[in-house]
């Protein structure tokens, strides 16, 4: 099952350098209580996902904030490269565009969009094509070494011999990096940081101290709530009702999350066939109140997780504000 757009969008914050960060502080969402179904009270009749508010969303980073942080990380990389004598300029990141993520959080929900676009994204259909990013100026072999913290040629040769060409015990925070042994790679009389300028920029923004909460913590929390909700008997019952409704319209599919692969719509999301199926999909969701049930259940699980991880979430929020202040200083 694909992650809903609300959660998938969170990954835009994570650059390749950030993905290398592991072991950051912050408890992982636990599975305790996964078998218990929380009370949800009365369930509202919902035929749209627009304007829905989720408990976890209060801690998420907006697309504009992600953009500002990405720009700041580029500035840090450029500053680091400058220390080693390289006038390296990163390509400008793509600015955020109109976001229709909330309209697809539980799959297709808009009857208007279904009739006009089928399963295709209205944003992709109506937004102008993004401007092509100018590639960064090519770096010499030494410049690549400073950026990545390893000589790429030496790395390839080391891999053939089953060895590592760079330190494998990378520091997990910037304060640790400043105290730990360096990479041993000297460029213009200075030692290259472990992981290069790419990793240094990530540590300065996302893990300045050992107490940094994993940048993916909120994303994982939302994913945990969604996973629990999908296994909840009330959502499973609503999904079964929706599936029977679709079958009555002549379409055999197991859940709203699997319509496209089940019915072979990949590559033809706005075809006449897709539009016909999309209209039935939305009508069945409305008939069985699929959105209302799924929202009520997921919200209940999110509230539980927010309460369980309140201390970590408060720390995450504070660190996010610190990160945004640093980004504002770097971006001018």
The CA-based dihedral angle spanning residues 112, 116, 120, 124, taken in that order and rounded to the nearest 10 degrees: -100
Is pLDDT at 308 greater than 90 in this prediction?
yes
- pLDDT (0 to 100) of residue 303: 97
Quick one: pLDDT band at residue 271, thresholds 50, 70, 90?
very high
Could you give the CA distance from residue 274 to residue 277 in angstroms, rounded to a whole number?
Answer: 5
Quick one: pLDDT band at residue 72, thresholds 50, 70, 90?
very high
- Report pLDDT digits (tens) over 8-28: 344 344 444 444 454 455 555
Other Cβ atoms closer than 10 A to 268: 14
Is pLDDT at 247 greater than 70 in this prediction?
yes
Could you give the CA distance from residue 305 to residue 298 in angstroms, rounded to a whole number?
Answer: 11
Beta strands in the chain (DSSP E): 186-187, 190-191
- Report pLDDT digits (tens) over 164-176: 766 667 889 999 9
Both tokens of residue 48? 């749209």
Is pLDDT at 239 greater than 90 in this prediction?
yes
Quick one: pLDDT band at residue 159, thresholds 50, 70, 90?
confident
**pTM of the predicted model, to two decimals?**
0.82
Is pLDDT at 290 greater than 70 in this prediction?
yes
Both tokens of residue 321? 């504000």
For 13, the enclosing helix (H) or strand (E) is none
Could you give the CA distance from residue 197 to residue 75 in angstroms, rounded to a whole number?
Answer: 11
DSSP track, 125-177: HHSPPPPPPPPPPPPPHHHHHHHHSS-HHHHHHHHHTT--SS-SS--SSHHHH
Both tokens of residue 142? 């030494």
Both tokens of residue 105? 């959080």
- Report pLDDT digits (tens) over 180-190: 888 889 999 99
Asked whether the beta carbons of 247 and 255 are under 8 A apart, the reply is: no
What is the CA 47 to chain-centroid distance, rounded? 26
Is pLDDT at 4 greater than 80 in this prediction?
no
Asked whether the beta carbons of 190 and 146 are under 8 A apart, the reply is: no
CA angle 223, 243, 10 (to 5 degrees): 20
């Amino acid at each position: 099952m694909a992650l809903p757009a609300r959660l998938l969008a969170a990954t835009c914050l994570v650059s390749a350098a950030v993905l290398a960060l592991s072991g950051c502080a912050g408890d992982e969402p636990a599975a305790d209580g996964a078998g218990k179904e929380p009370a949800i009270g009365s369930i509202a009749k919902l035929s749209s996902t627009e304007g829905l508010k989720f408990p976890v969303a209060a801690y998420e980073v907006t697309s504009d904030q992600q953009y500002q942080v990405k720009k700041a990380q580029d500035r840090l990389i450029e500053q680091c490269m400058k220390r080693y004598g390289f006038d390296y300029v990163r390509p400008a990141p793509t600015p955020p565009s109109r976001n229709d993520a909330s309209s697809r959080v539980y799959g297709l929900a808009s009857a208007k969009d279904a009739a006009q676009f089928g399963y295709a994204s209205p944003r992709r259909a109506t937004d102008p094509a993004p401007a092509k990013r100018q590639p960064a100026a090519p770096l010499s072999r030494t410049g690549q070494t400073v950026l990545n913290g390893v000589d790429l040629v030496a790395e390839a040769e080391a891999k053939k011999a089953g060895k590592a060409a760079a330190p494998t015990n990378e520091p997990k925070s910037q304060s640790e990096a400043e105290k730990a042994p360096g990479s041993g790679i000297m460029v213009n009389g200075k030692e290259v940081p472990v992981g290069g300028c790419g990793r240094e920029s990530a540590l300065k923004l996302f893990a300045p101290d050992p107490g940094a909460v994993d940048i993916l913590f909120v994303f994982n929390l939302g994913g945990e709530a969604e996973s629990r909700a999908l296994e909840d008997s009330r959502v499973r019952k609503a999904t079964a009702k929706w599936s029977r409704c679709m079958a009555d319209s002549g379409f055999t599919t197991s859940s709203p999350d699997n319509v496209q692969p089940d019915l072979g719509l990949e590559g033809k999301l706005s075809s006449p066939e897709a539009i016909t199926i999309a209209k039935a999909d939305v009508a069945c969701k409305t008939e069985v109140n699929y959105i209302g049930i799924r929202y009520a259940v997921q919200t209940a699980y999110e509230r539980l997780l927010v309460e369980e991880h309140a201390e970590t979430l408060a720390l995450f929020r504070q660190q996010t504000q610190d990160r945004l202040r640093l980004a504002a200083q770097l971006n001018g």
